[in-house]
Amino acid sequence: MSLKNLPQFVIPSQAVDYTEAVLRDYGSRRFPREGFVYWGGSRNGDTSTIQLVIAPHLDPGFAGVRISAMSNASVVEALSIRSMIEVAQVHTHPNGWVDHSCGDDRLAPFRISGLISIVVPHFCKRGMLPLQVCGVHRFTQDSFERLSNYYVRRYFRIREGSAFFCDLR
| Contacting positions for Zn ion (CB under 5 A) | 101, 104
Handedness of CA 110, 115, 120, 121 (dihedral sign): positive
- Shortest separation between residue 77's beta carbon and Zn ion, angstroms: 25
Q: Which is nearer to Zn ion, 30 or 106 (CB)?
A: 106
Give 144: exposed, middle or buried? Use CB within 10 Å, 0-12, 13-18, 19+.
buried
Give whichever of 20 and 104 is closer to Zn ion, judged by the CB atom. Answer: 104
The DSSP symbol for 67 reads B
For residues 79 and 90, which CB has a smaller minimum distance to Zn ion in the complex? 90
Q: In terms of CB distance, is 101 or 140 closer to Zn ion?
A: 101
- As a whole number of angstroms, the distance between CA 36 and CA 120 comes to 10
What distance in Å separates the CA atoms of residue 135 and residue 24, rounded to the nearest whole number?
A: 17
**Which residues have CB under 8 Å from 76's CB, separation 6+?**
none
* Shortest separation between residue 101's beta carbon and Zn ion, angstroms: 5
Q: Least CB distance from residue 33 to Zn ion, whole Å?
A: 12
80: amino acid identity, one letter: S
Alpha carbons within 13 angstroms on the beta-carbon side of residue 128 total 30
Q: Cβ of residue 93: shortest distance to Zn ion, in angstroms?
A: 5
CB of 20 to Zn ion, least distance (A): 17
Tell me whether residue 51 or residue 117 sits nearer to Zn ion (CB atom): 117
Ranked by CB distance to Zn ion, the top (closest) residue is 104
Q: For residue 6, give the nearest of 50, 47, 51 by alpha carbon.
A: 47
